[in-house]
Structure 1
Amino acid sequence: MNKIDTHCLLCAQLLKDPISWTTLLTKRFQPTICEKCSARFENSQSATALYQYNNAMKEYLHQYKFLQDVALAKVFRQELYDRFKHEKATIIPIPMHPLKQKERSFSHMEELLKAANIPYSQLLEKTTTETQSAKNREERMQVAPLFCLKEGAYVENKEYLLFDDIKTTGTTLQHATEILVNAGAKSVQCFTLING
């Protein structure tokens, strides 16, 4: 089969990957970054995260979230697909406040799941525009509730998996978990792209 020339989304180096029958017939995405860039990301030792936070991940998050490079949602699509393809629980990405999402123009958590072809439901709404990254550990632990259920959301007796980009203190995931549990969720697990 022919080769398709593409470039690494992080360093722009030319990627040459043959399109094979294996790629076409199995759920394997074409690579979007080169081996050198891929090697810069450190795998997490935690069962609840894919990667550890390091300089490569810091650069990635800055480019993806704050410089609004939505194409970077594809960087980890194979890893996310492999993690979630057999997931039985309903996946809920941690939402952004509507004003923040309008400002950024996309939901970075939803785009990660879309790029990996992973179904999800959005049952939560963010209640504040404040970001947790600007707060220290003590301030994060003392914040008012960060989420509420979306109008009309029904969660009783169902299993859920919350998905966020990074876990530092766990406050964001704890707040979201409490909302779902108090609404009658059967169980709530958490998974993140990055362990901070």
Structure 2
Amino acid sequence: MGIMVNTTTAAARSIDDVSEQIFRQVEQSGALPPHLGAPEAVGAALCTLSRRLSGGEARDLAAALPSTIQAIVQPCATHRDEDPEVFGRREFLETLAEHLHIDTDQASAVSHAVFAAVEREIPMKEITGIESQLPADLKDLWGRHRYVGSSHAERPADTSLAEPPPRAGVQTPAPDQHSGDVGADSTAAGSSGGVRGVRRAG
């Protein structure tokens, strides 16, 4: 299972703000070995992931990415068969490790850093669309970051049962608070509680 990632083209062009932010988050994660740059890590992790997806879903992923990263990943999503390659977490990490010249533990750390940064910047429907095509062990590697530090305001309906029940007193407005603000506070409190629940589960 080969990976073809052209990071030279991306490095030669100006980097868009969102791609730069993703690269910076990956660099600041502490997951990258000294010899490995963020563009190469991001490209390799996403290209390896795209091979596990159907051709259509892989193209959807590439289209959802900011322009600089899209230029790195799009060839992986287009020059391929429509059927996904079949592999699980172990083979994913081994393939990524071989390509980046790192061990599988480092490949796991790199994957988490890349996926966490990317999931903050792409639409929720794309996150869940990718997850729906992955086996259980790769779902954990990909989808575990979706709410932690994310800017996504809404959760997919199928996760509603996993949210903890609201705690007493959390949604009670202050005496001088206008009634129109109660809904916003309730939503924020529910969202905050959901994030804490996911962190405990992860």
Q: Smaller-chain TM-score range? A: under 0.3
**Whose strand proportion is higher, 1 or 2?**
1
**Whose helix proportion is higher, 1 or 2?**
2
**TM-score, structure 2 as length reference:** 0.27
**TM-score, structure 1 as length reference:** 0.28
